[in-house]
């Protein structure tokens, strides 16, 4: 991979896409391409085809997706399955049609069955039923994984799927209606601290186990996949360790300095009991995460404070 290789990062303004952009820039890549959604609607097939034909990128990194937590998935199941399939199908099909040799597709750990053995291995895909609260998003991402695999098998292209565990970090979404659990907790504890350490109410029992990966580590995994021809089509990307949501809440509460009480609302869904990724395939090839959870939350909270007005 040359430093002047033309690389299109779909979703470059999002948390993951912007981290990938920063990582590639830091590595000396000079021909990075990104287009905002106001200019290019990735759900529009013809517009995407016209764009790829005109720009002729050598690599496409698909970090674009409609994402959200349990509440957003429950409220908008159609948008989560349809818009994600539109985005990835348009990008992948245009890449194949116009000769893009390398495509990196980013998915999610939710592609694996709800009750799959832990830690989650790549071969557990399609071996059981999905978690009902986010199956719409999961089905879309599974379709993307299988499309990449099909192109790889049929056409011999270097198309690969990376499945990250739960991501967090700078440029995250802190909207309580659409955010994921870690960023939502940061906002809730911060606002409660500002309100004289008011109580914080959190969803579920707090017992589910979750794994979290700082977004800059995910970006380094993408750089690794870019610079190496990976032998398989599907790889997990994670830390290999998890903690309960109760412990996560206590960690965030301590970092933020909130001294009030935590109330767990058992009437709200817990989601999957445990989601721990087995990233040994990626680790064996040479990638490993570098940023621990405590440090990552500190960095994220600092960014949150610096950008709270926007």
Cite the annotated binding site for NADP(+) by residue number. Answer: 11-17, 106-109, 141, 164-167, 180
Q: How far apart are CA 300 and CA 186, in angstroms?
A: 9
Cβ neighbours of 4 (radius 10 Å): 11
Q: Which residues are annotated as a binding site?
A: 11-17, 106-109, 141, 164-167, 180, 188, 203, 210, 270
User: Does 8 qualify as catalytic in the annotation?
Assistant: no
Q: How far apart are CA 155 and CA 97, in angstroms?
A: 11
Helix ranges, the chain (H): 15-26, 45-55, 70-75, 77-97, 135-155, 181-194, 215-227, 245-256, 280-285, 293-306
In three-state secondary structure terms, 166 is strand
Task: Find all residues with CB under 8 Å of 263, minimum gap 6, and list them.
Answer: 199, 200, 201, 202
Q: How far apart are CA 60 and CA 149, in angstroms?
A: 16
Nearest to 214 by CA among 151, 158, 166: 166
Q: How far apart are CA 135 and CA 47, in angstroms?
A: 28
**Do residues 114 and 199 touch, judged by C-beta distance below 8 A?**
no
Q: Which of 112, 137, 168, 301 is catalytic?
A: 137
Q: Any idea which residues carry the catalytic annotation? A: 137
């Amino acid at each position: 991979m040359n430093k002047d290789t033309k690389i299109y990062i779909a979703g470059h303004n999002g948390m993951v896409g912007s981290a990938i952009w920063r990582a590639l820039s830091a590595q000396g890549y000079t021909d990075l391409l990104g287009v905002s959604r106001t200019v290019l609607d990735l759900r529009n097939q013809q517009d995407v085809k016209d764009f790829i034909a005109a720009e002729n990128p050598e690599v496409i990194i698909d970090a674009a997706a409609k994402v959200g937590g349990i509440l957003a998935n429950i409220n908008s199941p159609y948008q989560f399955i349809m818009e994600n399939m539109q985005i990835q199908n348009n990008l992948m099909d245009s890449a194949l049609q116009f000769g893009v040799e390398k495509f990196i597709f980013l998915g999610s750990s939710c592609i694996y069955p709800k009750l799959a053995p832990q830690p989650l291995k790549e071969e557990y895909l399609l071996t059981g039923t999905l978690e009902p609260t986010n199956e719409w998003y999961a089905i879309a991402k599974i379709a993307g994984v299988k499309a990449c695999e099909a192109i790889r098998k049929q056409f011999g292209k270097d198309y690969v799927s990376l499945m990250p565990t739960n991501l967090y970090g700078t440029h995250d979404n802190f909207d309580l209606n659409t955010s994921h659990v870690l960023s939502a907790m940061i906002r809730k504890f911060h606002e409660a601290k500002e309100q004289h350490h008011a109580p914080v109410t959190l969803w579920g029992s707090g017992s589910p186990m979750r794994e979290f990966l700082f977004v800059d580590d995910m970006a380094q995994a993408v750089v690794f996949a870019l610079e190496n021809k990976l032998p398989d089509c599907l790889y997990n990307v994670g830390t290999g360790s998890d903690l309960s949501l109760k412990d996560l809440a206590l960690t965030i509460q301590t970092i933020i300095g909130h001294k009030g009480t935590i109330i767990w609302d058992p009437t709200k869904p817990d989601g999957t009991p445990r989601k721990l990724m087995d990233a040994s395939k990626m680790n064996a090839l040479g990638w490993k995460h570098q940023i621990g959870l405590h440090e990552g939350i500190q960095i994220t909270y600092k960014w949150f404070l610096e950008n709270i007005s926007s």
